[in-house]
Structure formats: structure tokens, C-alpha cells
Chains A and B, each alone.
Chain A
């Protein structure tokens, strides 16, 4: 794969988790550019180029990594909104959660999530998962950003 062709949008409010995930992505040799926002509103602004992001003309990400546990607008609410936006609904959303509650998992898929991943507690586990995400989403499947 040539260079950082894709952008990955990470929606994560927790600074420690942001640190962990960006570090894990680095370590796993993720070939995509990672943009990070911390709230649902920021995510919408980013994706729709509204509010603070107005006029920035962000490139639509090829993949969204969504933390469920967000302040204000919850991850579920945001997921629902993303799937209602014509320009955004085709972007695969991978839910990252500490929870492995079946209700959460079911609800995420019902709302249109592409995958549900429980955040592993070991560093190596996390790195492995990120490698597999990269391999699957960037090598195996075709993403909407590629087509554009």
C-alpha cells in the first residue's frame, strides 16, 4: 500500500485512550493518517464541515473508530446520526468499547456499525487487533474513500 492514502477518524474523549490508541496505531504500523476528535459534536463538525470545522474541507475518512463512552452525545446517538447522513453513512464505523455487554454489541450492529471491538487490556492484544483492523479494512476490503 502506498503511503498514507486513507484517513482514519478516531472519536475518543478519554485522553489516556487517545494516547493508547494513537500509540498502538503507530506501533502496529498503521498506514493511514489518524485524525482525532473527542466528542460527538466535534465528529459531526469534522465530517460535515460545519461549525468549527467549517471551510476546512476535510477529506472524508475511510474508516471511523468510535468510542461508545462519550460525554454529552453518546456513542450510540452519534452512530445513529452518522448513519442518517447521506455523505457519511457509507463510511464503515468500528466501535471500540471497554464493554462487552451483549446488549451494547447488538445495539451497535442494529444502528449500522460495521464491527464491534472490545478494547483489549494488554498492550500486545491491542497492537494485534489494530494490525488486524488495518489488514482487513485497508488491504482486504474496499472502502468508499478509495472509490472517491
Chain B
């Protein structure tokens, strides 16, 4: 113990100030310098300590703490320098120096391995540059992300990401929006999606999903999903699964788009198609269409009914024989180049062609066929279509009418013959009777015989007029340019001088008309004869031929100064056998005007009468004008 005390004893030493000879300027120079150094040495560790605390990321803590110790100890040695000036505790000072030495060496050793690390550490400017670059990349990424989000959102593309192992399923905002949900409103799990599937679609979609996960077959199903409001929307999903290192399915992600509108259109298209099909099937006209190769693409119910069978795939060359097509005569088989659909296929437009379809064991049917080439939107011909309008009944009716007309004409002829014969005999025998009774006759007998003869004559005239009416025919050709003036002149030649009763004729300018010259002459003749007939005995007949025209039609007229016709009786006078006057006053069978009416109507015109009792009668009739001899 003593030796230990002796060890710390200062009694044997003199203070260090003696070395400075207690010279104040040397002494204080050392004291001040050491004090400042010590202060500085104590201040530096404080800073280092704070740095270490603040930036643990530097990873230099242990080294820093070593530094801190080293510098504090250095500081302490300087404190000891000052203290030993007055107190000679050289042993304690040596101990501190030794401690400082140990820490210094340790620090020196620790610094070396750090050196390459510190050398490699980026400089501040380097760091700034890197930082700027990072910031730029970051900004670019943000833009690109925003762009992607915008595109995905704008495109209405919902995204989903399914962790197959855990069942977690992330749905994007758009995905949720399609179904009417806000983010966070649903459980982000596979079961959420599954629950929203339409029950009728679930099995099919699950099958497709399983197939994709197992075999990698494409997963692109269309199905219905229930929205928040309970309605269903049509969606199309797309997804692709990925596998972990062991090859087990791990994750599947993809898209989901709303295709309700598209489905709606498809539905509308389908409805339109069904509507069209239903119309085509129910329409009475046969509709047949083919593509550009002649393959029949449409053969509706009426077509099947007409042919007694459905369409078959046969070469167009066989069409006519296969489908039993004939010319209108019903006997000549239709040649291929005459088949309407074939003609249309070759680009021809057929307005109206009559054909006969006569399948074995089925009634013969007649059709008017309209056919035309079919073109697509680009104007390229893609086939042809033909519409068959059945006219069997109409044609039969026309034929019946034609036969009936012939029969009627025959009847009229036979009747006129058979009716006239007895009348002729009545007249002849009346005359024989007069002869047989001798030259001189009792006045009453004479009158009786005359009455018989007269009646028979009148009846004969009637029959003959009716016959004329029934026979009325023109040239039976198309209407031609006819000069009314020429027709009138023909009449004048026919009428005898006596029958003209010294009449005065006047003519307006009579434009040419489209007519049948024979019929028009007949009309003028009857009207002139009528005008002369219905004339008071003491009046000089004045007959004028009138005309007005609007360029398209011509209204011709025959005006007289006779007894006139009550306009109220207009309809009546044109009926056959109608007479307004007693036979004692004016002769006539009442056929003349009926013949005029029939003739004018046959030429497509109309006839009427104008004018009151005082001014005589003015018969007018309208016919088509012959403009530059063009017939439209």
C-alpha cells in the first residue's frame, strides 16, 4: 500500500512550470494553447457524436465512437499538460497518455480498412447529379403511369390481379366502376368476382378459367355480371396466369371491359335478322338469292312452296331443269340464259319476266319475276336476288275473261243473225201479204201491215246497232298520230247530200291527237249524225268543230244549234238504248252515243256533254295530244 501511495506521490517532483522557469510569457503561451486545443478537442467529438446519432445510415458508428474516444483523450492530455505546470502529477499524465496511445493505435487500425470505402463513396456533386437523374426518371415514370392510368380508364379497361394461392384478388377502380362499386366497397377476394357472375354463365366461365390455368388455353370469355344495382352487364375478360418456381399456378392478372353496348347491338342485329327472316318467310312473293358462284343463299317459304322443295346445292347450269322452270307457254323449258336469277347474276337488271314453274305432281304456277344483281358496300357484285310474284290466278282470270269476251262476241254474232232472220222474214212476208191481197187494200189492213213491217224494221235496226256496239274495234294497234280534220272529212264523204240538210260547218284549229283513226272517224260520224238529227225542222243546222289544248291533252268538240241536252241527263245519254225523245219526234235507237263513249274510252279518253237547251248541244271529248309525234 505504501508503495502504491508512493507511486502516486508527487512529493519528489517539481511542477513543469519550472521547466519554463516560471517565465510568464512562456508559461501562458503553453497554458493558452493547450486550453484552446483541449476545448477544440472536446468540441469535435460533440459534433461527431451528433452526426453518428443523426445519420446511422452511414454505417460508421463504431469507427466514429472510436474517433470520439481518441479525440477526447487527446484533449485530456492537453488538459494534463496545463495541470502539470503547477502540479507534478506526471504519473497520472503518463497513464492518460498511455490510454490515448492505445485508443489512437486502435483508431489508426480501424481507419485503414475504411479507406477504400470512403474513397469509393460518391462525392456530393456526384450525389446531386444522381439525385437529379433520379428525380427526372421519377417524373417520367409518374407521367407514364398517369398516361397508362388515363388510357386504361378512358378505355374502360378494368384491371384485376388474383393471387391464386391466397385467393386475394385486387380490382382496379375501373373494374369496380363497371359494376357500380367504389374502391373499398367490396372484399378484394376471388369469391367476390365469382359471386357476381351470372348463374347461367358461371359454369362455362369457370370451365374456361380452369382450362387456362391447366393447359394455358386462351382465357377470353364473355359473360354477364351483376352490378351493385342488381342489373346485369355483359363483360369480356382477358387474363393470363403465371407460375412460381415449382411450376404451380401462382398469380393471374388481366383485364375486364364492359361489352353491354356491343352485346346490345348484337342482340339488335339478331332481332333485325329474325325480323327480316320472319318477313321473308311470311311474304307471299317468292324470294331467291344466290352468291356470285350461284350458290343459293335464300329460298323463302313462298319459293319453297312454288317449287315444292327446298333449295339444293346444284350447278346453276342445272337450275332450269332442276327447279322446273318454263317459258310463259308452260311447255318450253327455260334456257339457262333466260333464267332470271342467272341473268341477274351476270349483272342484268330484270324488271319483269314471266315464267312458269311446273314441278311434277304440283299445280302449275305463273310468276312475274323481278331480279337484280346484289352488291356489297364497296360496290362489288356479290350475287343476285329474284322476287317471284305469283300471277297464276290473274292470268287464269284474264284467260277466262278473254274466253268470255270471245264467247260474248260469238253470242252477239249468232244472236244478231238469229234475231235478224225472223225480222227480215216478217218484213218480206208483210210485203208478200200486201201483194197477195191484191193491189187495192183496205186502209186499216194497209196500216196494220205497215205497223208490223215498221216494228220489224226498227227491231232489226236495234239489233244491228247493238251488234255494231259489241263489235266496235279499232285497228287494235297502238294509238297513232291522227288528224281530227281528216276524220271529219271522211265522214262528210260518207254522208249523203240529203242527210246534211244544208248544214253549215265551221272548224277551229284542230290539233293532232293520239288515237285510232277508225274509231275517231266513227265518233265524229255519230256526233254529226246526232247533231243533224236533233234539229228543229225549220232551222238550218250549224255545226262547229271545237278544240282546246294544254299541250298534253286535246279536248275536241262538236257543237250544234239543235234542241240541246239537259246537262243533268248527261250520264244517261251515253248509256246504250237511252233515248230522250219520242220516236215520233226524233228517230234513233240510242246506240250512237254509247258507241262514241266506248270508242273514246278505248282510246284512253273521256267524253261528256256541255251546254244547255237553248244553245244546242256541245259534245266534248278529251284525247292525248300528239306532240312531235312522240308517243310516251
Contacts and interface: CB of A to CB of B under 8 A. Distances in A.
Contacts of B423: 121
Nearest to A98: B421
A123 B428 contact: yes
Contacts of A121: 420, 423-424, 427-428, 456-457, 460
Interface in A97-125: 97-99, 101-104, 119-124
B413 interface: yes
A35 interface: no
A23 interface: yes
Contact of A17 (B425, B431, B457): B425
A16 interface: yes
Report the interface size class on chain A.
Answer: 20 to 34
B431 A123 contact: yes
B91 interface: no
B243 interface: no
B432 interface: yes
Nearest to B419: A98
A50 interface: no
B229 to A, nearest CB: 88
Classify the interface of chain B: helix, strand, loop or mixed. helix
Interface in B428-466: 428-429, 431-432, 456-457, 460
B421 A69 contact: yes
A73 to B, nearest CB: 17
Interface in B319-376: none
Which of B416, B421, B424, B428: most chain A Cβ within 10 A? B428
Nearest to B457: A121
A92 B557 CA distance: 49
Contact of A20 (B413, B417, B428): B428
Contacts, number: 50
Interface residues of B, number: 19
Interface in A36-72: 69
B417 A69 contact: yes
B417 A16 contact: no
A122 B413 contact: no
B425 A122 contact: no
B432 A23 contact: yes
A68 B420 CA distance: 14
Interface in B382-426: 413, 416-418, 420-421, 423-425
A122 B420 CA distance: 12
B360 to A, nearest CB: 41
Contact of B427 (A17, A99, A122): A122
Given A98-B421, A121-B423, A121-B460, A126 B428 contact: yes
B428 A101 contact: no
A98 B424 contact: yes
A52 to B, nearest CB: 27
Contacts of B428: 20, 121-123, 126
A130 to B, nearest CB: 13
Nearest to A69: B417
A97 B417 contact: yes
B413 A99 contact: yes
Contacts of A124: 431
B334 to A, nearest CB: 36
Contacts of B432: 20, 23, 123
A99 B432 CA distance: 22
A16 B456 CA distance: 16
13 contacts: A14-B421, A16-B425, A17-B421, A20-B432, A99-B416, A101-B413, A102-B471, A119-B421, A119-B424, A121-B420, A121-B428, A122-B431, A123-B428
Interface of A: 14, 16-17, 20, 23, 69, 97-99, 101-104, 119-124, 126
Given A20-B429, A119-B424, A121-B423, 20 more contacts: A20-B425, A20-B428, A98-B421, A99-B417, A99-B420, A101-B416, A101-B467, A102-B471, A103-B413, A119-B421, A120-B424, A121-B427, A121-B428, A121-B457, A122-B427, A122-B431, A123-B427, A123-B431, A123-B432, A126-B428
Query: Which 7 pairs across A and B sit closest by C-beta, in order of nearness?
Result: A123-B431, A99-B417, A121-B424, A98-B421, A121-B427, A101-B413, A16-B425
